[in-house]
Amino acid sequence: MTGNAAEAIDNAVEADVAILGLGLMGQAIAAAFLRAGRPTTVWNRTPGKAGDLITQGARSAPSPAAALSATTGPVIVCLKDHEAVRSVLDPLGEALSGRTVVNLTSSTSDQAREAAARAGAHGAAYLDGAIMAVPQSMGGPEAVLLHSGDQRVFDKHLPVLRDLGTCLHIGTDPGLAALHDVALLNVMWGVLNSFLHGAALVGTAHVPASRFAVLANQWILSVTEFVSAYAEQVDAGTAVAQDASLDTHAAAMDHLVQESEAAGIDASLPRFFRGLVADTVAKGRGGDSYAAVADRFRAHP
Ligand code: FVH
């Protein structure tokens, strides 16, 4: 970290914010800060997106540099992707010196580390962030933001950041928030795709998706207990079948594939699940718990 970046950490907590990017999420972020009574200066590449925010008390800046000049607090960045972040921050150069960049743009972990290094080269402190929320929930406690980077930077700006929701610091490696982001989205997509497949399946018996959803949500609660139990086994490097063996899972997956095919529903998702289990069973682990599939992911063929 450069001297200027360290200075940025030591300064007193600032009360205002600059927001670069007024897409759906950037606007929600700005609105949450304004609701919290925080002086907020906004900029967006395409003019005209600040109208409602100005009505709510935001100041609009004609350029990223002007947004930085008008503020002393953290620079919140919420743009489309890593390339957009580079194209906006790099030209700012020395204007970033002594400031803190809080980058809430989705990226890979390597891109987040690169963004941290580039900000550091300009003398800025850097905090990465992954927003595990939709724009509508920003500002409420249900909006969870995962932050990674220097703990002191997080601690210093937490009084500002908590205007946006529940902010958690998950580690000093700036790439950790992005890594958790994709891993958590993976969980979401797994659940959503399985639900939609299941809804299509029961839909062939004229069961509405909304009725199936009631049972699915109840079942998801039980699955959270499986997740916790198998996580302990994964961490311990064990896979003792205390509830059901992989052989039992494999037989049930056969039923799902057969039902899907018989109903004319795309069976590629359950076939993929069955393939993961079959590969693990083929390694002589049919008597193990579902946690054994973790090894299939770690050492894929
Ligand atoms: N929306 C959501 O629910 C998710 C929740 C989880 C986190 N994501 C991430 O947040 C980033 C922004 O998402 P967004 O929903 O605000 O996205 P858009 O509405 O499409 O707005 C994109 C903004 O980025 C600006 N932009 C794009 N390219 C450039 C560029 N080269 N230079 C400067 N600005 C750029 C764009 O500007 P404009 O098109 O209006 O001029 C918008 O302000 C994203 O990483 C999500 O993954 C949101």
pLDDT digits 0-9 by tens, 46-99? 999 999 999 999 999 999 999 999 999 999 999 999 999 999 999 999 999 999
Q: Is the pLDDT of residue 301 over 70?
A: no
Mean pLDDT, rounded, for 240-257: 97
Say what the pLDDT of residue 95 is. 97
Say what the pLDDT of residue 10 is. 40
Q: What residue owns the CA closest to ligand 1's atom 17?
A: 23
Does residue 48 line the site of ligand 1, with CB under 6 A? no
Confidence band for 300, pLDDT divided at 50, 70 and 90: low
Q: Is 103 helix (H, G, I), strand (E, B) or coil?
A: strand
* Cα–Cα distance, 37 to 17 (Å, whole number): 11
Say what the pLDDT of residue 9 is. 45
Say what the pLDDT of residue 106 is. 98
Confidence band for 8, pLDDT divided at 50, 70 and 90: very low
Say what the pLDDT of residue 299 is. 81
pTM of the model: 0.94
pLDDT digits 0-9 by tens, 271-299? 999 999 999 999 999 999 999 999 999 98
Q: Are strands 144-149 and 125-132 parallel, antiparallel or unpaired?
A: antiparallel
Question: What percentage of the chain has pLDDT greater than the value 70?
Answer: 95
Determine the residue of 20, 22, 25 to mutate for testing ligand 1's pocket, defined as the one with the most ligand atoms within 8 A of the Cβ atom: 25
Mean pLDDT, rounded, for 102-123: 98
**CA 301 to centroid of ligand 1, rounded, Å:** 36
**Token pair 């198998």 in the structure block, residue:** 230
First to last CA, the chain: 41
Say what the pLDDT of residue 12 is. 41
Q: What are phi and psi of 131, to 5 degrees?
A: -90, 110
Determine the residue of 78, 86, 189 to mutate for testing ligand 1's pocket, defined as the one with the most ligand atoms within 8 A of the Cβ atom: 78
Q: Is the pLDDT of residue 253 over 70?
A: yes
The rounded mean pLDDT for the chain is 95
Say what the pLDDT of residue 6 is. 45
Query: Going edge to edge, which strands form the sheet with 17-20?
Result: 59-60, 40-43, 17-20, 75-77, 100-103, 125-132, 144-149, 166-169
Does residue 136 line the site of ligand 1, with CB under 6 A? no
Q: For the chain, what is the radius of gyration of the CA atoms?
A: 24
pLDDT digits 0-9 by tens, 170-207? 999 999 999 999 999 999 999 999 999 999 999 999 99
Mean pLDDT, rounded, for 105-125: 98
